[in-house]
Amino acid sequence: MQTDLRLTSRRKTVAVALVAALSASSALSVVPGAAFAEPAGGYANLVQKVSPSVVYIEVTEKAPQVSDSGGQMPQGFPFQEFSQQFGIPFPGMPGNGYQQQQAPQGHGVGSGFIIDPTGLIVTNNHVVSGASAVKVTLTDGRTFDAKVLGTDPITDVALIKVDSPDPLPAVSFGSSKDIRVGDDVMAVGNPFGLSSTVTTGIISAKARDIGSGAYDNFLQTDAAINKGNSGGPLFNDAGQVVGMNTAIMSPTGGSVGIGFAVPSDLVQNVVAQLEHGGKVEHGWLGIQIQQVSPDIAAALGMSKPMGAMVAAVTPDSPAAKAGLKRGDIITAFGGTDIKVLHDLPRAVAMTAPDTKSQIDVLRAGKKLSLNVSVGTMAPQKA
């Protein structure tokens, strides 16, 4: 049976169900991941502490216009004869004034979490993308119309806001860098529309590349994540958000214990930009890269394959101006070691445009350091 990678929000139209689920402005205190403090008695205290900050999101999608394919039904179409016999007009029949029809509006559900008492809420881009209306429901039953402040399709992060007369319960971010493989985590969300559902598990792996894009850097967890969990938080034992649940790998469409969350360190970075500008600008070098093969590594005297090899350099790009050449092997960028191919796109994309960065290169077996002024990546779709 083929295994599918699925995002974890829940979209539905009439008679059709679509599977969809891929920083705070100030640094917050960080508590490294550890075993939960209350395993014997369950997680009730932790749930009571954080669940009021997790919200249920309902989305109404814009309804597309559907053409009638020229206003004519195919010859011999069974309903055509029926219409002629009984005088009942059908869409597409001449004389009924039919030009085009409005497709049913799509509806979807997802999750989110409040990060500021003023009503700032984080969720996935794919939860609110293309929405004509967004409604947020709190655990106490209050509902609010939400405004989308900004989205970033590349990282699948979105920031929305509701206006409440009273301060709302908010959660804080923890460090995804400090969370360890094997640490306990807890997910809260709305799988299949079932609000305020809690599941627990561990961090199964870090820095997962799941093939959804060049910037994959997911936390993997075996905490049950399903359709409708998109945008919901993944908590550490201190009740801090260490990830945002986004995707699952499953042959059935339901949880089989392989879920993925956007790391909180990345979410904080993106949210800070969305809050202050409504958009995110990602760094850009202007190169194409390829994996360093074992044969190339051996020929250059490397102990093992590592880094990213430059396959092509875009003319007049930041990389070209810095002196990068085809065949160079980039081993570090901006102080970040490039161990595998995807380390470089992630490091560059999360660098602010116009930043001066150092690139460590292996060229024909010799080590070089180049200085580059990072450019701005063109807007991209998810």
pLDDT tier at 209 (50, 70, 90 boundaries)?
A: confident
C-alpha 96/C-alpha 51 separation (Å) is 54
- Assess whether pLDDT exceeds 80 at residue 232: yes
- Assess whether pLDDT exceeds 70 at residue 98: no
Handedness of CA 286, 290, 292, 296 (dihedral sign): negative
Region 40-69: mean pLDDT is 80
C-alpha 15/C-alpha 11 separation (Å) is 12
Which pLDDT score is estimated for 342? Answer: 86
Region 63-87: mean pLDDT is 48
C-alpha 267/C-alpha 243 separation (Å) is 8
Residue 173 DSSP label: B
pLDDT tier at 88 (50, 70, 90 boundaries)?
A: very low
Active site residues: 126, 156, 230
Which pLDDT score is estimated for 113? Answer: 98
Q: What are phi and psi of 150, to 5 degrees?
A: 180, 155
C-alpha 83/C-alpha 115 separation (Å) is 58
Q: What are the structural domains of the chain?
A: 4-61+108-276 (2.40.10.120), 283-376 (2.30.42.10)
Which pLDDT score is estimated for 279? Answer: 80
- Assess whether pLDDT exceeds 50 at residue 382: no
pTM over 0.85? The answer is no
Which pLDDT score is estimated for 24? Answer: 32
DSSP H/E element including 287: strand 287-291
DSSP 113-166: EEEETTTEEEEEHHHHTTEEEEEEE-TTS-EEEEEEEEEETTTTEEEEEE--SS
Q: Which residues contact 322 (CB under 8 A, 6 or more apart)?
A: 359, 370, 371, 372, 373
Region 104-117: mean pLDDT is 87
Most confident of 37-46, 183-192, 210-219, 270-279: 183-192
Which pLDDT score is estimated for 372? Answer: 96
- Assess whether pLDDT exceeds 50 at residue 86: no
Handedness of CA 171, 177, 178, 182 (dihedral sign): positive
C-alpha 114/C-alpha 142 separation (Å) is 14
Which pLDDT score is estimated for 315? Answer: 95
In one-letter notation, the amino acid at residue 150 is G
Q: Where are the alpha helices (DSSP H) in the chain?
A: 44-50, 78-86, 125-128, 264-277, 294-299, 318-322, 343-349
